[in-house]
């Protein structure tokens, strides 16, 4: 499985994220490869989660298709047999976990939508009564549903650093008011559409983040991954109870184990035990199957 850029020595590597490797393909395309790496507390862990990259890719593709009526995506194709000749030597490594995408001029902002109060939003609210300059009602607790979804952008941090919440006005000062208004409109619109679908599947979409860029024709386009357990908080609706941390379809087992392990967060994280790896993989697969209604095994067979 593709674990690092070195696995693709014949390609032009243009960047690494916590999970993805990016390669230039000609002048107009980018190959995104989702590894099985997992991060927590701003560290990339030494242990990988089998098939995680394939789950992220499969779920992103599902959402890109569902959201096409709202915003175009950067995906050209994910069918490895249709990839350019230079990618042929890596066909099996890329199958099921890669996307050939349009090259975009990315907007330097994480576009975050929140429908529920938790995470960094809860921390800001407890300190100021606001999130990204948006005043919220008094008395909210961890997991409270907000009166309406809010746009709470953040900076795009480098690997190993943490995104910082910023105000809408700060975004406008960086990219202009017109683009900020469009980013906000799309972010809230996508969130609301995805929330309705997730709710029909018994899942609460608490919050999520999107990345946008302009294509060669100047069209604002949805890029990167979308609405995965890595970029979103998904909660089972049947166990939802405000006032505490909610069970979620993501890295919960990993975070809980790290916190209970006695690990000093100023040092490199320890390897994960097999049980935590297995349970985390199962949560990612469950998220895909519950949200899409499709079999993950079928996706792997047909990729």
Residue 17: pLDDT above 90? no
Q: What is the pLDDT of residue 159?
A: 52
Q: What is the pLDDT of residue 1?
A: 43
Mean pLDDT of 127-149: 97
Residues 6+ apart with CB under 8 A from 163: 110, 154, 155, 156, 157
On average, the pLDDT of the chain sits at: 94
Mean pLDDT of 261-288: 95
Q: Do 244 and 142 touch, CB atoms closer than 8 A? A: yes
In terms of pLDDT, which residue wins out, 156 or 97? 97
Q: What is the pLDDT of residue 146?
A: 98
Q: What is the pLDDT of residue 3?
A: 53
Residue spans of the domains in the chain: they are 1-103, 106-239
pLDDT, tens only, 249-268: 988 889 999 999 999 999 99
Residue 158: pLDDT above 80? no
pTM score, whole prediction: 0.93
Fold of 106-239: D-amino Acid Aminotransferase; Chain A, domain 1 (3.30.470)
In terms of pLDDT, which residue wins out, 104 or 160? 104
**CA distances to 42, 120, 124, 162, 226 from 263, in Å:** 14, 22, 26, 19, 31
For residue 111, the 8-state DSSP code is E
Rounding to the nearest 10 degrees, give the CA dihedral for residues 186, 136, 119, 287.
Answer: -50
DSSP symbols for 210-241: EEEEE-TT--EEEES--S-TTTEEEEEGGG--
- Phi and psi at residue 222, in whole multiples of 5°? -80, 125
Cα–Cα nearest to 100, from 128, 67, 130, 61: 61
Architecture of 1-103 per CATH? 2-Layer Sandwich (3.30)
| Alpha-carbon span 122 to 127, nearest angstrom | 9
Q: What is the pLDDT of residue 42?
A: 84
pLDDT, tens only, 166-212: 999 999 999 999 999 999 999 999 999 999 999 999 999 999 999 99
For residue 79, the 8-state DSSP code is -
pLDDT, tens only, 31-72: 999 999 999 988 999 999 999 999 999 999 999 999 999 999
Q: What is the pLDDT of residue 2?
A: 45
Q: Do 20 and 36 touch, CB atoms closer than 8 A? A: no
Q: What is the pLDDT of residue 157?
A: 63
pLDDT, tens only, 186-196: 999 999 999 99
């Amino acid at each position: 499985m593709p674990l690092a850029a070195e696995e693709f020595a014949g390609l032009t590597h243009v960047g690494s994220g916590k999970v993805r490797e990016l390669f230039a393909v000609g002048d107009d395309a980018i190959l995104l490869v989702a590894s099985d790496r997992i991060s927590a507390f701003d560290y990339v862990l030494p242990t990988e989660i089998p098939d995680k990259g394939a789950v992220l890719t499969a779920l992103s593709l599902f959402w890109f298709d569902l959201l096409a009526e709202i915003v175009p995506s950067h995906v050209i194709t994910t069918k490895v047999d249709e990839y350019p000749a230079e990618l042929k030597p890596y066909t099996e490594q890329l199958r099921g976990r890669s996307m050939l995408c349009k090259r975009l001029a990315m907007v330097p902002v994480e576009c975050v939508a929140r429908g529920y109060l938790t995470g960094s939003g809860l921390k800001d609210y407890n300190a100021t009564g606001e999130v990204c300059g948006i005043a919220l009602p008094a008395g909210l607790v961890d997991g409270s549903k907000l009166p309406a979804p809010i746009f709470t952008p953040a900076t795009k941090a480098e690997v190993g650093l943490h995104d910082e919440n910023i105000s809408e006005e700060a975004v406008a000062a960086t990219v202009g008011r017109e683009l900020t208004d469009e980013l906000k409109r799309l972010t809230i619109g996508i969130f609301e559409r995805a929330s309705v679908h997730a709710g029909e599947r018994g899942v609460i979409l608490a919050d999520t983040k999107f990345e946008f860029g302009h294509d060669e024709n100047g069209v604002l386009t949805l890029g990167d991954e979308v609405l995965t357990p890595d970029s979103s908080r998904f909660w089972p609706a049947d166990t939802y109870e405000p006032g505490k941390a909610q069970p979620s379809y993501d890295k919960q087992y990993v975070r809980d184990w790290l916190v209970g392990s006695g690990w000093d967060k100023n040092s490199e994280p320890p390897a994960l035990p097999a049980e935590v790896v297995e349970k985390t993989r199962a949560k990612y697969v469950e998220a895909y199957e519950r949200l899409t209604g499709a079999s993950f095994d079928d996706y792997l067979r047909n990729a």
